[in-house]
Amino acid sequence: MSSKLDLSKEFIGRRALVTGGTRGIGAAIAKRLLDAGAKVVVAARSRSDFTPAAATFIDGDVSTSEGVKAIAAEALAVLGGLDILVNNAGGAGGTRMFPEGSPTIPDEEWQDAIDLNLFASIRLTNALLPTLRASKAAAVVNISSTAATMPFAPTAHYGVAKAALDFYSRTLAVELAPSGVRVNVVSPGPISTPSADEMRKSFPGISSDEWLRYVPLGRIGTTDDITEVVALLASDRGKWLTGMNYRVDGGMTAR
């Protein structure tokens, strides 16, 4: 008898909310959960051609407290509860760069980066905590970035917000462990998505080919590289994993 796990059914009966789930990494995560049997809601400001057809779409803005409350209420109305929360909204693709350095980043850009990449996760997790505590298999996965540990002045506001998300996630993991809610972080390195590919082209002084010099495994990552780690952390396979930050970056931050 084969002992191989059947990963195509591991999320049957699980209810999931993925923010920023209509494109890029978020859409790929939503599809991975759906393919394994989960009931999935995706929340974003708009649909895209990449939005998984089987997911329920909620139009909302996680960067405001009012938007978060509306998303949480609608998601629970659709799902009837929650087992998996993936805080994916945000990302470098929508971050403005300031080539002249961090002193030139306006206050409003710092605030926008913090609202989207930090407060969105805090507010939504807090809004859904009672429901997560009621689940027998609750898992929170916060999508961060290797930018949190690799200083780059033109996008300092983004890196700072993600670094704060990392610390918050560790704190929350310890705090919620007694109630059985697991909290982990996945920090992607350079991943090939339409928005990320376009952003990398605009990095000052770094060509597309030169990016590979920074990745020991010699290639840009795919969304599948991220979704499989998220699936592990959200599933029973990861039931003794909490408070960790998994850097999925081809070895880039190992240097």
Q: Indicate the domain borders of the chain.
A: 15-248
The span from the CA of 94 to the CA of 186, in Å, is 19
pLDDT at 205: 67
The span from the CA of 129 to the CA of 147, in Å, is 28
pLDDT at 212: 85
pLDDT at 1: 42
* 16: β partners: 40, 84
CA triplet 111, 113, 118: central angle to 5 degrees? 100
| Residues designated catalytic | 158
pLDDT at 209: 73
Regarding the domain delimited by 15-248, which CATH topology (the fold level of the hierarchy) does it fall under?
Answer: Rossmann fold (3.40.50)
pLDDT at 255: 82
pLDDT at 2: 46
pLDDT at 186: 98
Q: Could you say which DSSP state residue 215 is in? A: -
Query: What stretches in the chain show pLDDT beneath 50?
Result: 1-2
What is the DSSP code string of 179-209?
GT-EEEEEEE-SB--HHHHHHHHTSTT--TG
Residue with tokens 């697991």: 182
Sign, Cα dihedral of 226, 241, 16, 57: negative
3-state secondary structure 6-26: CCCCCCCCCEEEEECCCCHHH
pLDDT at 234: 98
